[in-house]
Structure 1
């Protein structure tokens, strides 16, 4: 059915055409025509609106009920205002943000507060009133061979609206002993406390210009080293703390418009015992207590802003102690005498000259005659940093603006600034404030952005110190 057959090959030649068909064409858009039309409203309308006058009704006021309401709410409002009076919420606020704002330190005034020809009078302490309008200058003799029987003064200078200090004191308070320490009340601008070399503590109410008779608060057993107003809370009484070289810290309640002082508590830093002693005297209840020995000479103390009952005490022998107002540990033999110590820090190699607690941190700084400034945490026994200095620092103070910066002053004519976070010196802000005299006191006026500096020759200089300098 199927068979095989072969055929011859058939072939053809391929050709490539090299000729291409080309066509030219032009494309042109049609011309665009623009036209402008004006649009105008054809109708305008004005409408005037005016309120009609309405005669107000005569409102009846029950003045007895109003007086009762005001009497009820006034104490609470006044207490809240007192609490907010010293707020620093606007400390860093500068309404003048132009480049022409004040940016340098400038001397505004320099006066000599001593009218005597001898050079044995120094500025022992300074204090600004809480509103910043008055500067109190305490004077003292430099040397005391024995009991202080010098007649001294506290001079009050007022600031004008233009930040000028008066050339002469507006008021002079006479004292029967050299002034060692001053402190204006934190909320009452007319209340001033002072400690004297003859062991007395006095309080003046300067609201009445006719009377300059002070209230006698107490008499210590030695020279008064510090007076301190504890900020009170709402419905709380005013407390004045005083320390002395006799080793006591006394707490006083002041009532009746600061004319009556009542002893509230007595604290005493008792002397350290020899570690090799094994036996400690026991109380009747069987608990161990500190022995009743001579108190340590107290040179400085300061309260922690974050813990209202905690304060740190420095002593003449270089000891630093953490204390509490709430301590209830009695000293043997006297239940009215309390040992406030709850902890102890690493000691200095010399006498403590100043202690200041940081306003924003759980830290404090200390200075001593061993020519060291130390930075401590409130919760650690050993110092975090040690700053070695060339001269003895007699005082420390926190600056305005940047509250991590503190100033150190003392046995030279310079003020030096340090950052508490790293302990480094801020060299760009160092400046010489007096001639060649050692600085004895420095105080900040946060309301006017000023600092007042006193020296050992009774000179006082007031400087403009802008808070944005650091």
Structure 2
């Protein structure tokens, strides 16, 4: 049985509140010595060679005309034209055969792979962070990015995207329906080549009459910008106009869009969420859908179909020509290779970047990403390099023919870990890359080293070899 007992009280003194003893120590490193050394070659030499049969003579051809008469005494003996012609006929077939072999050679593939694999964090430099304070204060995200045709102006659409990225929620950057009408949207532009460009103050700010979800710049006229809205409206601005810059608006048409526009290039009745046209054939394109389907389509389509509720003058066509292995969720990004007509890139709710041959249903490559991919694009200068922006703010670069499926470069595109919705290479030399997302800021990245170098013939040969692979 238990009974009460009295004992002497014991106190345990706590020392963790007391200050810890410390001591300051300093060190000083001596100056680093440096020495410059120059070298100069003492002499140089030149050499030349001429291929041909023993009957060929080296020399020059007499050229005569109304105003030109070059003497053979000055230029040397005349060329043995029959012998030269015979030589060219003999070497034509083997030379063409060797050129074809060189075009498909993979002799330098290991070198190209090692160059891409040797990328480092210093190859990607954050050049600017563009902000619009009013949009940040209202919690607006980057819903669209565009480069002008000249490559000097960045256009940015500020709208409302849901920051939910869990698999149990809708993965399409959805809209906060309770606040669409309460908060305005904005279209802003920055000219990166403008002297004293202010990253915190746009050169042009336009308040949009609808809630913007995407935008695109005109491919030739830098002043024209088009944007799509949540309610299905399409707006066109001419930024070089005086006064009202809104040049056109599609609202009020009974046969217009009635659903949110996710990409300004096109929208089809099957829930298109991503779209990219072929570089060589502007009538062909790859489309991704809400259900994860990847489709090869044509603007020529099939026979016209009269849809209920539309006027007889509006005819719809079935554009799909071929279906590929689908993703497990919505397709957010599709981009046809600018270097090969049968290679395309797709990504979305699957945490993979897929490289498709448009001649086969199954993907040629599946490159794992840190999380869901909201935007992906090919490099405009490196045929084997692509970049992706993820739902956790990661910016990753892949070499699609590398033996490893890991990214060749992985940086934190958003320090808060919020989703990156937009990624866009600059046109032309591709030395600039812009990203934007839920944080409401645009990051302008400067590409250096291997990221900005041209791939050359060896990379094109590797891409041709990849396209020829069969599943």
TM surpasses 0.5: yes
* C-alpha spacing 1:176/1:423, structure 2 compared with 1 (3 Å): farther
Structure-1 residue corresponding to 2:332: 353
Structure-1 residue corresponding to 2:465: none
Normalized against structure 1, the TM-score is what?
Answer: 0.60
Gaps of 5+ in 2: 1-121, 163-174, 454-471
Aligned equivalents of 1:117, 1:323: Cα separation in 2: 39
2:462 is aligned with 1:462: no
Aligned equivalents of 1:344, 1:190: Cα separation in 2: 37
* C-alpha spacing 1:132/1:426, structure 2 compared with 1 (3 Å): farther
Question: Which has the higher relative contact order, 1 or 2, with Cα contacts under 8 A spaced 6 or more apart?
Answer: 2
Aligned equivalents of 1:350, 1:314: Cα separation in 2: 10
Normalized against structure 2, the TM-score is what?
Answer: 0.60
More strand by share: 1
Which structure is larger by alpha-carbon Rg, 1 or 2?
1
Gaps of 5+ in 1: 1-102, 229-241, 249-294
Deviation at 1:309, TM superposition (A): 1.4
Structure-2 residue corresponding to 1:441: 422
Aligned equivalents of 1:381, 1:338: Cα separation in 2: 23
* C-alpha spacing 1:185/1:425, structure 2 compared with 1 (3 Å): farther
Aligned equivalents of 2:125, 2:232: Cα separation in 1: 38
Residues 63-462 of structure 1: pairs in structure 2 closer than 5 A: 104-115=123-134, 118=137, 120-143=139-162, 144-146=175-177, 148-149=180-181, 150-160=183-193, 166-217=199-250, 219-228=256-265, 242-243=266-267, 248=268, 295-331=269-305, 336-361=315-340, 362-422=342-402, 424-425=404-405, 427-436=407-416, 437-447=418-428, 449-462=431-444
Conservation of the 8 A alpha-carbon contact between 1:203 and 1:217 = no
Aligned equivalents of 1:179, 1:109: Cα separation in 2: 24
Aligned equivalents of 1:119, 1:462: Cα separation in 2: 22
SS at match of 1:384: strand
More helix by share: 2
Aligned equivalents of 1:222, 1:353: Cα separation in 2: 16
Deviation at 1:340, TM superposition (A): 0.8
Deviation at 1:415, TM superposition (A): 0.9
Aligned equivalents of 2:440, 2:144: Cα separation in 1: 10
Conservation of the 8 A alpha-carbon contact between 2:353 and 2:368 = yes
Give CA-to-partner distance per residue, 1:312-334, whole Å, 9 cap, x none. 11110111111111123233657
Aligned equivalents of 1:131, 1:388: Cα separation in 2: 34
Residues 14-29 of structure 1: pairs in structure 2 closer than 5 A: none
